[in-house]
Amino acid sequence: MHNEFTAIIEKDEDWYIAYCPEIPGANGQGTTLEECKNSLSEAISLILEDRRNDVLRGIPEGVIQEVVTIK
- Amino acid 13: pLDDT: 95
| C-alpha separations of 36 from 11, 40, 47, 49 in Å | 10, 6, 17, 20
- Amino acid 2: pLDDT: 64
- Amino acid 1: pLDDT: 45
| C-alpha separations of 48 from 22, 43, 44 in Å | 11, 9, 6
From CA 2, how far away is CA 59, in angstroms rounded? 25
Q: Which amino acid is at 45?
A: S
Per-residue pLDDT of the chain (71 residues; tens, 9 = 90+): 468 999 999 999 999 999 999 999 999 999 999 999 999 999 999 999 999 999 889 899 899 989 888 77
The residue among 15, 67, 22 whose CA lies nearest residue 47 is 22
- Amino acid 34: pLDDT: 98
